[in-house]
Amino acid sequence: MSDLGFLRRVALAEAVSYLVLLTVAMPLKYLAGLPLAVRIVGLLHGVLFLVLCWALLQAWLDKLALRRCMAVLALSFVPIVPFFFDRRLRQWATERR
């Protein structure tokens, strides 16, 4: 699997974990009084975010433009945007072949 292929998969997994954290775990914590949900999903999300940062570093070292890497990182902070940005990542991956 190429660095961009790995980056795409990690970015999508991180985006899913972020949505689960915001839409499932946070309401369980504040509405149902179950803070364990945030601890578990938050830990998973944090690990996936670190893997995303590592994948971005690997893609940058594999000659992906720093501007593109910074765009992926910045857009990962907005909950739904990474799903739409995946199409652009796919384009970048096909450009590099």
pLDDT at 97 over 90: no
pLDDT at 5 over 90: no
Percent of the chain with pLDDT over 90: 72
| Least confident interval from 19-28, 38-47, 74-83 | 74-83
Give me the pLDDT at residue 32, please. 94
Q: Which residues contact 93 (CB under 8 A, 6 or more apart)?
A: 2, 4, 5, 8
Distances (CA, A) of 51 to 24, 35, 38, 90: 22, 24, 19, 19
Where are the domains positioned within the chain?
Answer: 3-95
